[in-house]
Amino acid sequence: MIRRVTSPALFPPPTYSHATVVEAGTKLAFLAGAVPLDVDGNLVGEGDPVRQAEQVIANMEKQLRAVGSDLAHVLSTDVYVVSGETAVLSAVWEVVEASGLSTGPHSSTLLGVACLGYSGQLVEITATAMVPEEPADSALPEKPTDGAASQAPADRSQS
């Protein structure tokens, strides 16, 4: 069972909760950072944080389906945006809100950072999700892959 908590002793957050509590015995999935790469490892939306955020959400949905979960079962996220401008962070957050991740709402932190792992990458989102006993309606499990050999990502160095 998921219980999302907004403390009345704190300023009310716009579309997220202060904390998420999961009852013991619940299966959790800790997702690696979803990045704005297509299936061939090409950067999607170069220079466009909104387009990159959309690709990141699409990739996160695939990660979640692979473990039998979906966006509605995400408990917590960290949203990283390469920018020091609140307007850019807000534009990315609007993509997060529109995605269904704010259903609940989940606990989240939005951060402006100096750089991320792939050249040209502007957005990355990490997540923790509950995996329901019965797969979520939108979660069609994909065959999970084990090990890095099957993932073969593009160069993760900075340029």
In a domain, 106, yes or no: yes
pLDDT digits (tens, 9 = 90+) for 2-59: 888 888 888 887 777 777 877 778 899 889 999 999 999 999 999 999 999 999 999 9
pLDDT digits (tens, 9 = 90+) for 62-97: 999 999 999 999 999 999 999 999 999 999 999 999
Quickly state the pLDDT bin for 139 (edges 50, 70, 90).
low
Give φ, ψ of 58 to 5 degrees: -60, -40
What is residue 57's predicted lDDT score, i.e. its pLDDT? Answer: 97
In a domain, 143, yes or no: no
CATH code assigned at 91: 3.30.1330.40
In a domain, 126, yes or no: yes
Q: Would you say 54 and 45 are in contact if contact means Cβ atoms under 8 Å apart?
A: yes
Domain count, the chain: 1
In a domain, 14, yes or no: no
Domain that holds residue 91: 2-8+27-132
- Round to whole Å and give the CA distance between 116 and 73: 26
What is residue 142's predicted lDDT score, i.e. its pLDDT? Answer: 53
Tokens 């917590």 appear where? 76
What is residue 137's predicted lDDT score, i.e. its pLDDT? Answer: 62
What is residue 25's predicted lDDT score, i.e. its pLDDT? Answer: 84
Quickly state the pLDDT bin for 121 (edges 50, 70, 90).
very high
In a domain, 13, yes or no: no
In a domain, 147, yes or no: no
What is residue 154's predicted lDDT score, i.e. its pLDDT? Answer: 46
In a domain, 150, yes or no: no
Q: What is the pTM of this model?
A: 0.78
Give the contacts of 76 (CB within 8 A, at least 6 positions apart): 20, 106, 107, 108, 127, 128
- pLDDT at residue 147 tops 50: no
Tokens 């995400």 appear where? 74
In a domain, 57, yes or no: yes
